[in-house]
Amino acid sequence: MIVSASYRTDIPAFYGQWFMNRLAAGWCDVANPYGGAPYRVSLRRQDVDGLVFWTKNLGDFADHLDSLRAHGYPFVVHYSINGYPRALETSVTDAQRSVAHMRHLRDRFGPRVAVWRYDPVIDTDLTPLDWHRENFARLAVATRGLTDEAVVSFAHIYRKTRRNLSAAARRAGFAWRDPAPEEKRALAARLVEIAADSGMRLTVCSQPAVLVPGAEPARCIDAVRLADLAGAPVPGRLKGNRPGCGCYESRDIGAYDTCPHGCVYCYAVQNRALAQRRFRQHDPDAEYLIAPASALADASTP
């Protein structure tokens, strides 16, 4: 079993001690985000084929990775580095520091451990498509040699995403739009070239319509990469989480509406005030990152 930690929240940045406590216990409980029964996930080494972390700030969690390696857990770190203005990413650490974290990963564990994510691409008058070409190129140079893959995607404009983006635009005085498919493909084609110049392959997350020559479908949960890192086969079957997803099957142990980063485009946070409240109330010694009873109470709060 591959454990995802987590595409629902930033566990390394905000809940690292909880994760390590649960690892020591050998299991964690997860509140079902879709209203079903909660479930238990074993974190014992004999049950875990690999760990996949998702973060925008590895920070102090980097110190725990040596312990994971010592106990034989193969792991991959998806590191989102966008370098966006504060109007879009309210409290994300600066790109230079994140690149330094990736360099630490490369130096300590090799260039296959980290995957650079430049996503989602947001088209605003603060970050127009030409700006993304230049920004991606700058970050690709900074991360050259630190990874072999750059994952990109364009923002999925869900109802909550549209609401949060529009509210942020009114507050900060910017405009945004969802680019036409041909504009997305044109940018993706340029990003393929830029990534290749820095020794990376470009992959596209869950958006087959954006695939262009030279780009590949992303497998963010990738049993092949984990097997390379483990030096042994990692069992798994392809089972995407949504249409167009190329991931291997995994169990995610995070919770929605718990990341206080404040990224206005985030699909995993419907209400930042709720996320901040849950973060303040979080108990690192609890079995759940957020207990089902808390989630139910929050859902009933206006």
Write down the domain spans for the chain. Answer: 2-156+176-256+285-299
Q: What is the pLDDT of residue 115?
A: 98
Residue 302 binned pLDDT confidence (cut-offs 50, 70, 90): very low
**Spatial distance between the Cα atoms of 271 and 256, rounded to a whole number of angstroms:** 10
Average of per-residue pLDDT across 56-78: 96
Q: What is the pLDDT of residue 291?
A: 87
Q: What is the pLDDT of residue 295?
A: 55
Q: What is the pLDDT of residue 241?
A: 80
CB neighbours (10 Å) of residue 233?
11
Q: What is the pLDDT of residue 276?
A: 95
95-111: pLDDT as tens digits: 999 999 999 999 999 99
Q: What is the pLDDT of residue 294?
A: 62
**Spatial distance between the Cα atoms of 226 and 30, rounded to a whole number of angstroms:** 24
207-229: pLDDT as tens digits: 999 999 999 999 999 999 999 99
Q: Report whether CATH 3.40.50.11540 matches the domain 2-156+176-256+285-299.
A: no
**Spatial distance between the Cα atoms of 283 and 231, rounded to a whole number of angstroms:** 36
Q: What is the pLDDT of residue 297?
A: 53
Q: Which residue type does 4 have?
A: S
233-281: pLDDT as tens digits: 999 899 888 888 999 999 999 999 999 999 999 999 988 999 999 999 9
User: In this structure, are residues 206 and 183 in contact, taking their beta carbons and an 8 Å threshold?
Assistant: no
Site of tokens 């998702």: 54
User: In this structure, are residues 265 and 161 in contact, taking their beta carbons and an 8 Å threshold?
Assistant: yes
132-184: pLDDT as tens digits: 999 999 999 999 999 999 999 999 898 989 999 999 999 999 999 999 999 99
Average of per-residue pLDDT across 184-196: 98
Q: Which residue type does 47 have?
A: D
Does residue 300 surpass a pLDDT of 70? no
CB neighbours (10 Å) of residue 107?
10
Using only the alpha carbons of the chain, give its radius of gyration. 19
**Spatial distance between the Cα atoms of 6 and 146, rounded to a whole number of angstroms:** 22
Whole-model pTM over 0.85: yes
User: In this structure, are residues 166 and 121 in contact, taking their beta carbons and an 8 Å threshold?
Assistant: no
CA 251 from chain center: how many Å? 15
Rounded alpha-carbon distances, angstroms, from residue 195 to 98, 134, 210: 18, 12, 16
**Spatial distance between the Cα atoms of 10 and 51, rounded to a whole number of angstroms:** 14
Averaged pLDDT score across all residues of the chain:
94
Q: What is the pLDDT of residue 243?
A: 81
